Structure 1
């Protein structure tokens, strides 16, 4: 019975995907203009044509580096500074205005401002970091503040070392919030990176290929590049979830030290 559940879930997901593809195909047939709405087959054909060019992989690689770079730096710093902000009220008061300001700024404003100061190729990475950092920071601070007070009181009574308190009490409490922040940062990172690539004219990149497809009215290629973005984003999300799931299993099997 348990073996059938994953299989049934896969079948349902495939069925849902087929439904939306058929709806897309029907809409394309009704519009009857590839310039306005290319069919799924035309879009897939565009991906195959793009994949025959080495520049296609160079563009994807460059965008992936910017996404991973921005997300990794934002999550790493967000974890460290968020933990410090949750534990130290004075540090939180210092950092909070910066985080609140970044959160309230429109993404376009951040991209334009950063583009004035650094090279266009680095703009997407820096902007992705700035936009994703507040997500991690906020989640980690919240995780620290929701730590079980009874465990902290017990640790205080038994004079447990502060390093052990952080490692064995705060870190496990923060983990679910950190995972949530990571998944949000990955999804947000893709959108921000590609947008920044377009506005900053960053080459090579997926964003600029989207822009060129729009300028030259190559709607089929515009859809093809969009499909590539969706596939890459979903693949990274699934791989990340798989790695996190495996780590949790390994931790569950480890004996308590």
Structure 2
């Protein structure tokens, strides 16, 4: 654990060193130095609307994930239980997953209000991941355990609690990691194009328009930090569970 942490520190230091020397070969518009990005980051924190912008983006990401799970979980379970249901839904799920996210953003710009677009794009981006993982978890249930449950006439509640949930749990956790790893990238991209008025993507869009590269990178790193924090909390939760 300690060695892994030291390696990460060394890798970060080397990255910053390469970045620092590379920035000397270009103007700050093309590649600002790490110091310039840090200054922009501090200026952003001092902005009275800083946490509001972050809150808006996190709020949209949160509701996108919640709605996705509410829709995907029952579909995934049914797909795992019934082959007919799997065969019916699978082409639609693959179609949604195969379409470029940017295409969904552009369509959403036509269909929806600007504030809902990031939520919609999150749903579209993560729902196939959840459905397929849940379906796979259900399909992997040990059928011998189900047969024994039937012999001993266990209630449906006990079958779900003691057989299905443990089987699904690993796949559910796997989908969570993928979902949280992708959600903020997707929601920010949608905000950049939708211009909802508030949010990290809105600030990044204005930084691009004003050619403020340091500010653009500062907000980009903010997205990385938020993702790292959430993934870290998820890891702690898994350790506590184990």
Give the counterpart of 1:61 among 55, 63, 68: 55
RMSD of aligned Cα (Å): 1.5
Q: Measure how far apart 1:227 and its partner are.
A: 1.1
Aligned pairs (5 A) from 1:144-159: 144-159=138-153
Q: Does 1:131 align with 2:128?
A: no
Structure 1 ranges of 4+ moved more than 3 A? none
| TM-score, normalised by the number of residues in structure 2 | 0.94
Count of residue pairs brought into register by the alignment? 242
Give the counterpart of 2:29 among 30, 35, 57: 35
Matched with 2:155 is: 161
Which string of whole-angstrom CA distances, capped at 9 and with x for unpartnered residues, describes residues 65-106 of structure 1?
Answer: 111111222134322321122113333333323312211211
Give the counterpart of 2:183 among 189, 192, 199: 189
Structure 1 gap segments, 5+ residues each: 1-5, 250-257
Matched with 2:192 is: 198
Give the counterpart of 2:17 among 10, 13, 22: 22
Structure 2 gap segments, 5+ residues each: none
Matched with 2:80 is: 86
Which string of whole-angstrom CA distances, capped at 9 and with x for unpartnered residues, describes residues 202-231 of structure 1?
Answer: 220111211111111111111111111111
Which string of whole-angstrom CA distances, capped at 9 and with x for unpartnered residues, describes residues 165-201 of structure 1?
Answer: 2221111011111111011011111111111111212
| TM-score, normalised by the number of residues in structure 1 | 0.89
Which string of whole-angstrom CA distances, capped at 9 and with x for unpartnered residues, describes residues 24-61 of structure 1?
Answer: 112112x2411111111111111001111112221111
Change (3 A) 1:163 1:85: farther
Instruction: For residue 115 of structure 2, give the secondary structure of its aligned residue in structure 1.
Output: coil
Contact 1:67 1:125 in 2 (8 A): yes
Q: In structure 1, what is the Cα distance between the partners aligned to 2:207 and 2:116?
A: 23
Matched with 1:100 is: 94
Matched with 1:241 is: 235
Q: In structure 2, what is the Cα distance between the partners aligned to 1:134 and 1:153?
A: 30
- Greater displacement, 144-153 / 37-46: 144-153
Q: Measure how far apart 1:129 and its partner are.
A: 0.9
Matched with 1:254 is: none
Contact 2:185 2:223 in 1 (8 A): no
Contact 1:73 1:129 in 2 (8 A): yes
Q: In structure 1, what is the Cα distance between the partners aligned to 2:145 and 2:18?
A: 54
Change (3 A) 1:76 1:15: farther
Q: In structure 2, what is the Cα distance between the partners aligned to 1:66 and 1:186?
A: 13
Contact 1:79 1:178 in 2 (8 A): no
Q: In structure 1, what is the Cα distance between the partners aligned to 2:4 and 2:94?
A: 40
